[in-house]
Structure 1
Amino acid sequence: MITRRTFTASLLSAIPATGLLGTAALAQGMRDITFVQPSPSAINSFPVFVAIGEGYFAEEGLNVTVEAINGSGAVLQALSAGQAHFGRPGPGPVIAARSRGVDAVFIYNVAARSNFGVVVRQDSDIQGPEGLRGKVIGTGTADGAEVGFARNVMSGSGMTDGTDYTFLTVGDGGPATAAFLSGEIDAYSASTADAAILNQRGMAVRDITPAEFGRFFGNGIATMGDTIRNDRELVEKFGRAFMRGHAFALDDANRDTVLAHLATGNPQEGEDKEFQSALFDAVRSKTVPADMSNGLGYMPPEVWEEWQASMVAGGEIPGPLDDLSAAFTNEFIADWNKAIGG
């Protein structure tokens, strides 16, 4: 059983008042789609909520419901079980799932720059990964993208999980703060949002991740291989609307509208406007590729190779996949970028 938090995007709320286009006509033939995300944060999945709010999915004939579940592993479970059409897992969990025969495929690179980091308390003596030898690293989930990222960082310093350091699943937000305060953990593998929340809760943290790990892109959009092969039009429509939402949110002229859409998606995040704005800035900055020559959403194949190599070295998978290229596809990216004039 997967515990879910559901955000309903009704047709009426999805279509701007200035462009109803005849609600009754649009309602005919609308297709219900489920998108699963690994945490309740609307900000972390901001292109989806913007695409809902701006009516981009509705224009494609899609009525999208967003459901929050616990971590990338649960996202992939929901996709493989046919309980969702699209999700936002990390690349590491996708590679691990494919090593077990799950035909999940990455189709859009959302966090084009790493949205994870290993953080310690601001007043800690630990200055880098080597300082975590023999220590405990907290994680939000047992099998989420943050776990694979931290393993990569630690293996880069020649350390192995269970031998040179250990992981402890403590949850995020308040539980992570409590784990730091009690001394249960010495560090925490945090997303950009996690780190911001810890700091906002008074648990000042700093990132000790070596700069070279910034190339390891984070969570993106995935679907099942069968969906790409047998329902290609759905993939095209969803990705096109998603990219339009992404591009809209990158334009500062739309900032207030975007934050309003995100508050609709997660009212709790919208209660503190200053914090919501700062967190959005931090998350959004990680979604802009360092190299825009291929537009938004593009996945560098060489970084997939690095992800796989680090997972093999860290013992997360027994060996390289038979065909790593099947784990992702850039085939839709150029056409989607045309939808935003790219």
Structure 2
Amino acid sequence: MLTRRTFTTLSAALLAAPLALGAGAVSAQELTKVTFVQPSPSAINSFNVFVAIGEGFFAEEGLDVTVESINGSGPVLQALSSGQAQFGRPGPGPVLAARGRDVDAVFIYNFAAKSNFGIVVPNDSAVQSPADLKGTVIGTGTADGAEVGFARNVLKGSGLEEGTDYTFLTVGDGGPATAAFSSGEMQAYSASTADAAILNQRGVAVRDITPGEYARFFGNGFITMGDTIRNNPELVEKFVRAIYRGHIFALDDANRDKVLAHMAAGNPQESEDPAFAAALFDAVRSKTIPVDMTNGYGYQPPEVWEEWQQVQLAAGELTAPLPDLTAAYTNEFTLKVNGSQN
């Protein structure tokens, strides 16, 4: 079931303001309704969306955005392919797997420019590297989310094969993951930045054993369907411009209080502990800053897409290379809105 959070993106000031594209005043009747689907209820993990809503960036583009929260990248892709949403934020691995099934999903903005996943173990565990996980059970938040493909890649790099050397166990996140560690049901966990922070907050101190070279594997980003790009490129450009503006706004420490307030409005429960929410935001935000800023925020390095495809092939998520890997992503809109391409 989709959990709906509808956000008002209009104010009297915005109604009187010109659109970013210079189309004149906007009214409620003229706004285009858009649905964005995220793979968890976290507003912090999609902070640029909630900033774009709260600051009126979507409204300035003529968009009225509804946010839906579901469980994992797989359902996000299903929602878009069935027409229930126009935009989503899944991981690159699930997107490639979906394209292998002829689902025309296209990455349009690289948000988690550095990997937002890691394999974590309890602080007192004897495990020091992925190779030490032979013969163990590794927990995941979802059965087919981006964290699963990421963990397979890391473990494959250490010579471990799923089903032979280790097994995955879907345990969920938050409380269930805490309980699975406490009961010994799992010995490691493929965690997002948020997952690790929550575990530490709940008294299960964990450390990340992921080798540093895996940071280049960017994580969840924004997608749409190929037919949306072909039939309504203006909509895609407007959406990307708004999330880019939200991203840049949130990176400015001068806007910190406003950003935290927008995320609290998006998910009040997540921000009940303001200190924890602020620390989690800092951790998530740091993952969205590219190592190489040559092409600006949101850019997707083609060479890393090649590596992601090799990961999917090695894991059996793809039975053969995609006929055209470049069809899985486009930098056109990102380069246009971030000023790298005029």
Q: Same fold (TM over 0.5)?
A: yes
Runs of 5+ consecutive residues of structure 2 not aligned to the other structure: 19-24
Give, in whole Å, the separation in 2 of the partners of 1:273 and 1:35.
26
Q: After superposition, where does 1:132-147 map in structure 2 within 5 Å?
A: 132-147=133-148
Residue 314 of structure 1 and its aligned partner are, at CA, apart by: 1.8
Q: Which of 1, 16, 26 is residue 21 of structure 1 equivalent to?
A: 16
Q: CA deviation at 1:316?
A: 1.8
Q: Does 1:295 pair with 2:293?
A: no
Say if 2:165 is the partner of 1:154.
no
For 1:196 and 1:92, the matched residues in 2 are separated by: 23
Alignment pair present for 1:314 and 2:334: no
How many residues get paired?
336
Provide the rounded CA distance (Å) in 2 between the counterparts of 1:187 and 1:113: 21
Report the Cα distance in structure 2 between the residues aligned to 1:19 and 1:331, rounded to whole angstroms.
28
1:44 offset after TM fit, Å?
Answer: 0.1
Deviation at 1:21, TM superposition (A): 1.5
- Distance in 2 between the 1:46 and 1:94 partners? 21
RMSD: 1.6
Q: Say if 2:25 is the partner of 1:30.
A: no
* Mapped partners of 2:221, 2:260: distance in 1: 21
Q: Secondary structure at the match of 1:83?
A: coil
For the Cα contact (< 8 Å) 2:108–2:224, is it kept in 1? yes
Letter in 1 for 2:95: V
How far the C-alpha of 1:269 sits from its partner, in A, is 1.4
Query: What amino acid is aligned across from residue 21 of structure 1 in structure 2?
Result: A
**How far is 1:11 from its partner?**
3.4
Q: How far does residue 22 in structure 1 lie from its aligned partner after superposition?
A: 6.8
Return the offset for 1:152.
0.4
Judge conservation of contact 2:26–2:62 (CA < 8 Å) in 1: no
Asked whether 1:56 is paired with 2:57, we answer: yes
Paired position in structure 2 for 1:178: 179
Query: Runs of 4 or more off by more than 6 Å in structure 1?
Result: none
How far 1:7 moved relative to its partner?
A: 1.4
Where does 1:202-281 land on structure 2 (aligned, <5 Å)? 202-281=203-282
- Structure 1, residues 283-302: CA drift from partner, whole Å, max 9, x if none? 00000111111011000000
Partner of 2:83: 82
Cα distance in structure 2, aligned partners of 1:89 and 1:174: 23
SS state of the match for residue 276, structure 1? helix
C-alpha deviation, 1:28, in angstroms? 2.6
3-state SS of 1:292 partner? coil
1:29-74 deviations in Å (ceiling 9; x for gaps): 1111000000000000000000000000001110000000000000
CA contact (8 A) 2:110 2:299 kept: yes
Cα deviation, residue 163, structure 1 = 1.1
- After superposition, the Cα gap between the structure-2 partners of 1:301 and 1:22, relative to the gap in structure 1 and judged at 3 Å, is closer
What's the TM-score, normalizing by structure 2? 0.96
Distance 1:45 1:280 in 2: 10
Alignment partner, residue 3 of structure 2: 5
Q: Secondary structure at the match of 1:42?
A: coil
1-structure distance, mates of 2:286, 2:276 = 16
Conservation of the 8 A alpha-carbon contact between 1:11 and 1:27: no
Q: Secondary structure at the match of 2:106?
A: strand
Q: Percent identity?
A: 72
Gaps (5+ residues) in structure 1?
none
User: Which amino acid in the other structure matches residue 251 of structure 1?
Assistant: D
In the alignment, which residue of structure 1 is the partner of 2:72?
A: 71
The amino acid of 1:229's aligned partner reads: R
Aligned-partner Cα distance in 2 for 1:274–1:282: 13
Counterpart-to-counterpart distance in 2, 1:239 and 1:245: 10
> CA offsets, 1:212-251, max 9 Å, x none?
1000000000000000000111001000011000000000
Letter in 1 for 2:336: D
Q: What is aligned with 2:118?
A: 117
